[in-house]
Chain A
Amino acid sequence: MTGAATPILEARGVSRWYGPVIGLNAVNLEAGTGLTALVGPNGAGKSTLLRLFTGELRPDQGRVRVLGEDPWNRPALFRRVGYCPEQDSLYEDMDAPGFVAYLLRLRGFDAAAARTRAEAALSSAGLDPAAWGRRVAGYSKGMRQRVRIAQAIAHDPEVLLLDEPLTGLDPVGRRSLRGLFRGLADRGASILLSSHVLHEVEATTDRILLLHRARLLATGTVSEIRSLLDRHPHSVEVACDRPRELAARLVGLPEVESIRVPSPDLLVVQSRTPQALYPAVVRAVEEGGHRVSRMGSPDDDLESVFHYLVRR
């Protein structure tokens, strides 16, 4: 589900330095409604980009637009945008609902509404109500993360900017919050989420923006990016009986670049043209009557694409 005619988040020719260190280098990208993932190695520029969208930073070059406006110094926009930062900086002495309500009041809600929304947001974020009375200073990492998420969603923002929102959470928490974000995206929010955990990204998001060395390296839907896989050297593993026989059948084919038999029941074929390779393997298996217990590629996931693109 890509964006509407005017993109909700837009960066044109954006560069940003920190002294001599480059944070972003002439980046052009956009995002619309739905859930867009921002991925890339550490230092690639993900956090910088998110902070440019929140208006915390100004680009040194180019321009940034959120909901059609420049987010710098724009308090009205503040109300329509939610941000969950990576750094941990909560007001230690407040309790969780108090903290979230306080931030809501800064956004213009009155005290009663702020309180109600704060509690609703904390419930959605999965913070155990039994812990609501305690000071934030006593919270575990996972609980603090949930407080940060709650303050980002409490005011029903149209735009949600999340910097590694799932760190510190256990698998159950990760799954339920992924569901939460997915739900918000389906209801029309525009979510930009940065993450290192690529298989989660694959499962939840619509589009992916891959940053590397401060530049945009690739962009597209999950399936588009995965089909990039077809253009890079690719290995296929076949766990079968008589792998050497199967190898003999395959080695003569032009699409096969290399074959390994690392163990008596495993064959690994490498190719630069996987679209041609797979059918060839299937045919060879059929012709030879091999009993195959498992066939697949360890490269067939986002992480491999990422690995390949980043290492190029």
Chain B
Amino acid sequence: MADGPVVTLEGVSRDFGRVRALDSVTLDIPRGAVGLLGPNGAGKSTMLKVILGLLPPGAGSLRVLGVDPVRDPTEVRRRVGYMPEQDAYVTGLTGVESVSFAGVLSGLPRSAAMQRAHTVLNYVGLEEVRYRKVEEYSTGMRQRVRLAQALVHDPELLFLDEPTNGLDPAGREEVLDVVRDLAGRHGKNLVLCSHLLRDVERTCSSVVLLAQGRVARRGTMAEVRGGRKDWLRVTGRGDPGPMEEALRAAGCTVTREPGHLLVGVPAGTGTAPVFRAAAALPWDLRSVGPEEVSLEDVFVEAVSAPGPA
């Protein structure tokens, strides 16, 4: 299966008692790095369980990498790597034993699993610590082990649930580097669930946003965040007054926002007026780019007034 979406859901519904966790969801999860967002209780966890074959859908059907998780759940989990949000380790095993065990459970021969465990642990950056028991690990180390366990069987599709939870910025950056590397250079498909939207903005190429059991927004990152055409976001140092005047004189509309200027340029002129004005004044221009709504704004707006996209 070289093309086409990695997961397709068609009219999938699932109830929990009186709560409708998933409400007739029809969705294609595209290839590449996809951000799966949503408020707590929006149905992300349920969707994940249904996709992994741990829960049958009440209605509707789905395919994961071409496999039906209702009929063959273990095959789905063989092809998919899952990195849970919370602790998930077997006591009594060292780091490398844990990862190797995970490999064996996924069907790798024992020696291949051990060799692969070491390779993957190198990749995620766990060094001598791998020979100590996982009980003794710090949060960041346990996270790396979980990531290694998700990768050991070389799955085509990875589900990463809050992979940067509890890590400091340096740690987060390392994990995101791995995510970008996997998606970019190695062509892996990833679904990243995270509440840190900035991280999602910087690593994912598409986004699916769930709210109240339905898909509220979906699309490529550009589509979902897309601002208006011919509107630019301009930042610089120093008093923006002169710049505002110069831009207005050039036929642009300028609004002052906290920390930046929102500039509407005449159609088709691109960023030229901004550079012209900055060079002429001169004004200390620091950044120019298309107006982009932050993912957080999209989220808040989608959640308060959800509607199918």
Query: Footprint of B on A, CB under 8 Å?
Result: 40-42, 140, 142, 167, 169-175, 196-199, 275, 278-279, 282-283, 285-286, 291-297, 300, 303, 306-307, 310
Partner of B288 from the list A142, A283, A292 (CB cut-off 8 Å) is A292
Partner of A278 from the list B138, B170, B284 (CB cut-off 8 Å) is B284
Q: Which 9 A-B pairs have the closest CB atoms?
A: A296-B287, A294-B289, A286-B279, A170-B39, A41-B168, A42-B168, A171-B299, A295-B288, A292-B271
Given known pairs A174-B195, A175-B296, A293-B270, the reply for A283 and B279 (CB within 8 Å) is: yes
- Bound complex: CA A296 to CA B40 (Å): 34
| Any A CB within 8 A of the CB of B275 | yes
Q: How far is the CB of A199 from chain B (nearest CB, A)?
A: 5
A residues in contact with B167, CB < 8 Å: 42, 196
- Bound complex: CA A40 to CA B168 (Å): 8
- Considering the complex, give the chain B residue whose CB is closest to the CB of A274: B286
Given A41-B168, A172-B39, A282-B275, list of 14 further CB < 8 A pairs?
A41-B169, A169-B40, A196-B169, A196-B172, A282-B279, A282-B282, A293-B271, A293-B290, A295-B285, A295-B288, A296-B287, A303-B173, A307-B170, A310-B170
Given known pairs A286-B279, A291-B270, A292-B270, the reply for A300 and B287 (CB within 8 Å) is: yes
Q: How far is the CB of A216 from chain B (nearest CB, A)?
A: 17
| Any A CB within 8 A of the CB of B112 | no
- Bound complex: CA A303 to CA B199 (Å): 12
Given known pairs A291-B272, A307-B169, the reply for A296 and B288 (CB within 8 Å) is: yes
B38 x A294 contact (CB < 8 A) = no
| Any A CB within 8 A of the CB of B198 | yes
- Considering the complex, give the chain A residue whose CB is closest to the CB of B282: A279
- Considering the complex, give the chain A residue whose CB is closest to the CB of B299: A171
Given known pairs A42-B168, A282-B278, A307-B169, the reply for A175 and B300 (CB within 8 Å) is: yes
- Bound complex: CA A268 to CA B129 (Å): 38
A278 x B285 contact (CB < 8 A) = yes
* CB<8 Å pairs between A and B, sample of 25: A40-B168, A41-B168, A41-B169, A41-B170, A42-B140, A42-B168, A140-B40, A140-B41, A167-B165, A171-B195, A172-B303, A196-B172, A275-B284, A279-B282, A279-B284, A279-B285, A282-B279, A285-B275, A286-B276, A292-B270, A293-B289, A295-B288, A296-B286, A303-B169, A307-B173
Q: How far is the CB of A138 from chain B (nearest CB, A)?
A: 14
Which of chain B's residues 224-278 have a Cβ closer than 8 Å to chain A?
235, 270-272, 275-276, 278
- Considering the complex, give the chain B residue whose CB is closest to the CB of A43: B168
A294 x B288 contact (CB < 8 A) = yes
Partner of B166 from the list A167, A169, A278, A293 (CB cut-off 8 Å) is A167
B195 x A170 contact (CB < 8 A) = yes
A278 x B286 contact (CB < 8 A) = yes
| Any A CB within 8 A of the CB of B67 | no
Taken residue by residue from 58 to 89, chain B's Cβ proximity to chain A (1 for < 8 Å, 0 otherwise) reads as 00000000000000000000000000000000
A42 x B288 contact (CB < 8 A) = no
- Considering the complex, give the chain B residue whose CB is closest to the CB of A39: B169
Taken residue by residue from 182 to 205, chain B's Cβ proximity to chain A (1 for < 8 Å, 0 otherwise) reads as 000000000000011110000000
B residues in contact with A286, CB < 8 Å: 275-276, 279
- Bound complex: CA A307 to CA B173 (Å): 10
- Considering the complex, give the chain B residue whose CB is closest to the CB of A46: B168
Given known pairs A279-B282, A286-B279, A291-B272, the reply for A170 and B287 (CB within 8 Å) is: no
- Bound complex: CA A306 to CA B286 (Å): 19
A171 x B286 contact (CB < 8 A) = no
Q: How far is the CB of B249 from chain A (nearest CB, A)?
A: 17
- Bound complex: CA A41 to CA B38 (Å): 28
A residues in contact with B271, CB < 8 Å: 291-295
A306 x B169 contact (CB < 8 A) = yes
- Bound complex: CA A155 to CA B140 (Å): 35
- Considering the complex, give the chain B residue whose CB is closest to the CB of A44: B168
- Bound complex: CA A216 to CA B196 (Å): 27
Q: How far is the CB of A16 from chain B (nearest CB, A)?
A: 20
A199 x B198 contact (CB < 8 A) = yes
| Any A CB within 8 A of the CB of B308 | no
Q: How far is the CB of A306 from chain B (nearest CB, A)?
A: 6
- Bound complex: CA A304 to CA B172 (Å): 13
B residues in contact with A197, CB < 8 Å: 196, 198
Partner of A172 from the list B270, B276, B284, B300 (CB cut-off 8 Å) is B300
Q: How far is the CB of B227 from chain A (nearest CB, A)?
A: 13
| Any A CB within 8 A of the CB of B171 | yes
- Considering the complex, give the chain A residue whose CB is closest to the CB of B286: A278
A residues in contact with B39, CB < 8 Å: 170-173
- Bound complex: CA A310 to CA B287 (Å): 25
A residues in contact with B288, CB < 8 Å: 292, 294-296
Given known pairs A171-B197, A196-B167, A286-B275, the reply for A296 and B289 (CB within 8 Å) is: yes
A residues in contact with B165, CB < 8 Å: 167
